[in-house]
Structure 1
Amino acid sequence: MDFFKSFVYNFHNISDDSYKKFAALTTSTTFLKDHKIVKIGQVPANFYILKSGIVRAFVIDDKGKEYTRTIYTPIGTTGNLSSLITKEPSNLIYECLTDCEVLQCNYEDFYKLSLKHHDLSIFHYKVLEKVYIREESKILDLTLLDATNRYKKLQQQIPNIDNLINQYHIASYLNITPVQLSRIRKKC
């Protein structure tokens, strides 16, 4: 089974007709490390299915400090869902931390297709559920876990994370300083 079909059926079994129509909306592309797939102020049109690589969503405060909100890894979706839904400018930057291979799909075209095909609506709903659960889990981790346990959980979720991306991105995601991360890594 190819990558896209496996991705789709992992969420919901859709008809062959729906699959073909959805697949026709996607294009395969590669982004190089440091490429911004969504920029602040941009009204994005596409969402992405990450086949390989790592993407982060982050914001920069008035003093120039970066705050990483989410780290995306295969096999998952990425893109500013809020901006796609509201058609308003993004308040986050989505940046490739490594070279990334993605399937790209226009959100509006997919949404219109899902309104015509009930099985795609269910698929869409299940993807949104997963996004919600992921984001809620991140909020709970920041609330309930100390920095060491957040780091350990991240290592479980993304094995070898320390060798994949810069330490300051990891620290930012964990909501700690790089110095704190260094101390935690020495203890673990």
Structure 2
Amino acid sequence: MAYDLILQNIARHINLTPGEQDHFISLLKPEEVKKKALILREGQLCNNIYYVNSGILRAYHLDKDAKEATIMFALSDWWITDMFCFINCQPAMLFIEAVENSSIVGLQKKDLDQLLIEVPKFERFFRIIMQNAYIREQLRVIQNLSLSAEERYHSFLTKYPQVVKQVTQKQIASYLGITPEFLSSLKVNKTKN
């Protein structure tokens, strides 16, 4: 597996020496994941954060009626985990599934903790990643509270046009908190206008 993409991702925020790059790469666990395979299940200890080299992953939660609520998508060059459970070394609350055949790399929590001590500049990198994730989720909550379903759908189309092409209508609907049927009606209304 080539590590160019993940190193470019890191280089946007910090500069690594060749030795630091080699050390970081030595901690990564590459994995090829088939479509619909689960890399994390609810209740399983969440001890990895994943970087998507290619493909797309989806994190979702099942309610008591087994209804899915998509929490996030992760495309190529994105990071994903069940963050609360990863940070606190707890059983996962989420499932993480490959939406399509995907190439990912995992970084274990114990290796990340050691990396942050050995190469302190990674503190900056992961702080920026966490800040960006927090901002994204805060904006999503505000939109869910203040925008109509139609406005949320249009915002999703504008913000994530590449996701729309790679995931199912059911998955988009579960991300938006609406039914697939209602999403269909929104799409029909959009084409009429």
Question: Does the pair score TM above 0.5?
Answer: yes
Tell me the amino acid that sits aligned with residue 96 of structure 2: Y
Q: Which residue of 1 aligns with 2:56?
A: 54
- Equivalent residue letter for 1:36: L
After superposition, what is the alpha-carbon deviation per residue over 1:38-69, rounded to whole angstroms, capped at 9, x for unaligned?
10100022111112222111111111211111
* 1:20-169 equivalent positions in 2, closer than 5 A: 20-169=22-171
Q: 2:9 touches 2:77 (CA, 8 Å); kept in 1?
A: yes
Identity of aligned residues (%): 24
User: What are the ranges of 5 or more consecutive residues in structure 1 without an aligned counterpart?
Assistant: none
Give the drift of 1:166: 1.4
Residue 114 (structure 1) shift:
0.7
Change (3 A) 1:160 1:126: closer
Partner of 1:10: 12
Gaps of 5+ in 2: none
Aligned residue pairs total 188
Task: Give, in whole Å, the separation in 1 of the partners of 2:19 and 2:155.
Answer: 40
Deviations 1:64-93 (A, max 9, x none): 211111122222101112111111111111
Q: TM-score, normalised by structure 2?
A: 0.90
Deviations 1:5-64 (A, max 9, x none): 101112322333322211111132211111111101000221111122221111111112
TM-score (norm 1): 0.92
Change (3 A) 1:171 1:45: same
Q: Contact 1:11–1:127 (CA<8 Å) still a contact in 2?
A: no
Q: 1:94 is aligned with what amino acid?
A: I
Cα RMSD of the aligned pairs, angstroms, is 1.6
**1:140 partner amino acid:** I
* Contact 1:18–1:119, Cα closer than 8 Å, also in 2: no
Contact 1:58 1:92 in 2 (8 A): yes
Tell me, in whole angstroms, the C-alpha distance in 1 between the residues paired with 2:125 and 2:95: 26
